[in-house]
Chain A
Amino acid sequence: MAKDIRFPEGEPRYVPERDCLGFRAIADGTNVECLVTAEFLFSRFGSKEFTEKAMRQAFDDHRDEIQDIARSLLEYGWIDEEKRLFLTTRFTRLTVHFDQLLAGDPRVAAAHRMLTDVIGPSAGELVIEWRTPRENPPNPSILLSIKDPVIRREMATSFPPEAWDDPTTLRVRLAQVWSALLRARSHDLVLKSG
């Protein structure tokens, strides 16, 4: 998780081969190039057309908002091997909720980190909840649910105490939950496409 994120002053550079505008960020001392796509500027920030001039205009008008989005993605460490961050129409917007009992739990924090690594920067809008079951007698398992508010689907799983012993198994289980939601998205797209 990057903590110290800064955006040095300067004009963005146009990247014609990707149809993007690039601007610099420094995340915990690491130089990162943030690339915001023309599509994103067009659909979200009012760019009138797919020209460099229109893209620059939209960027200048919404610089703070774009940098806030970049900051939220950089905080999760979603940069690729070449130290680049792509801002696209499907940028990840997470709403995360931890039960009061789990808020300071280091195992849950580590698992959440693993989950965000799996989800990546292009997952769209998601609601993630970490809960403890309200059962009597008390159930020591921890529940995870991932919701997609757009398609209105939710995938959930529970982690019994022994599930936390092996990080590899835990990662695979987290990936399975996320994969199940992506599968649901695929089915939704198939239905929409007719």
Chain B
Amino acid sequence: MAGGKTNTTRIEQLEDFTKNLVSRLDVHDETLKWITEGLKKGAEVTAEHGLKIVSFEQKFVVLVDFNKYVESVSAIQRDLVAFRKDLESLQKWKEDLKKEKDESSRRRWAFGPNAVGALISGFISLLVALLVVWLNKRP
């Protein structure tokens, strides 16, 4: 026999080879099965993540809209501040105007007694002058 081996020995070695290869194939089959299961789970998780991403995107759109609303509210707040300042200015102007009006009224009333005094004084001077003239004309 070639190699000094009988056919029985060769057959036994082939049997061992076959058993070993079958075992190795079994392991690979099982491994492939688990990897496939793992991939399937991974795909399911990815699909769930995809759905979550869509949900987040929708929420982001809402947030972006909300951000715009916040900006609008900020602009309105700024307008309100400006409006309040205008109102305060208007109030101040109104108070100033009232003060001026009071002052002019007060001044007007302050002029009256002086004029009356002057008229009375003039009238008295006139009376005194007429009295002097009358007394001078008396024989």
CA distance A118 to B30 in the complex (A): 8
Q: Within residues 85 to 116 of chain A, which ones have a CB less than 8 A from any CB in chain B?
A: 90
B26 touches A120 (CB 8 A): yes
Q: Mark B13-41, 1 if CB is under 8 A from A, else 0.
A: 10011011101101110110011011001
Of all chain B residues, the one with the shortest Cβ separation from A88 is B19
Q: Is A193 an interface residue (CB 8 A)?
A: yes
Q: Is A122 an interface residue (CB 8 A)?
A: yes
Given A168-B41, A175-B27, A179-B24, are A189 and B13 also a contact pair (CB < 8 Å)? yes
A179 touches B20 (CB 8 A): no
Please name all residues of chain B whose beta carbon is closer than 8 Å to the beta carbon of A183 when the two chains form the complex: 24
A186 touches B21 (CB 8 A): yes
A189 touches B20 (CB 8 A): yes
CA distance A175 to B24 in the complex (A): 10
Q: Is A192 an interface residue (CB 8 A)?
A: yes
Please name all residues of chain B whose beta carbon is closer than 8 Å to the beta carbon of A59 when the two chains form the complex: none
Please name all residues of chain B whose beta carbon is closer than 8 Å to the beta carbon of A169 when the two chains form the complex: 38
Q: How many A-B residue pairs have CB under 8 A?
A: 51
Please name all residues of chain B whose beta carbon is closer than 8 Å to the beta carbon of A178 when the two chains form the complex: 27
Q: Mark A154-174, 1 if CB is under 8 A from B, else 0.
A: 000000000000101101100
A186 touches B20 (CB 8 A): yes
B17 touches A189 (CB 8 A): yes
Q: Mark A60-82, 1 if CB is under 8 A from B, else 0.
A: 00000000000000000000000
Please name all residues of chain A whose beta carbon is closer than 8 Å to the beta carbon of B16 when the two chains form the complex: 189
A168 touches B23 (CB 8 A): no
CA distance A178 to B13 in the complex (A): 21
Name the one of A90, A179, A193 contacting B27, with C-beta atoms under 8 angstroms: A179
Please name all residues of chain A whose beta carbon is closer than 8 Å to the beta carbon of B19 when the two chains form the complex: 90, 122
Please name all residues of chain B whose beta carbon is closer than 8 Å to the beta carbon of A182 when the two chains form the complex: 20, 23-24, 27
Looking at the assembled complex, report how far the CB atom of B12 sits from the nearest CB atom of chain A, in whole angstroms. Answer: 10
Q: Is A2 an interface residue (CB 8 A)?
A: no
Between A and B, 13 residue pairs with Cβ closer than 8 Å are: A118-B27, A120-B23, A168-B37, A171-B34, A178-B27, A179-B27, A179-B31, A182-B23, A182-B24, A189-B13, A189-B17, A194-B3, A194-B5
Nearest first, the 4 A-B pairs at minimum CB distance are A168-B38, A175-B31, A182-B24, A179-B27
Q: A-contacting residues of B (Cβ < 8 Å)?
A: 3, 5, 13, 16-17, 19-21, 23-24, 26-28, 30-31, 34-35, 37-38, 41
What 16 new A-B contacts, CB under 8 Å, besides A168-B37, A175-B31, A183-B24? A118-B30, A120-B26, A123-B23, A168-B38, A171-B30, A171-B34, A175-B34, A176-B31, A179-B28, A182-B20, A182-B27, A189-B16, A189-B17, A193-B13, A193-B17, A194-B5
Q: B-contacting residues of A (Cβ < 8 Å)?
A: 90, 118, 120, 122-123, 166, 168-169, 171-172, 175-176, 178-179, 182-183, 185-186, 189, 192-194
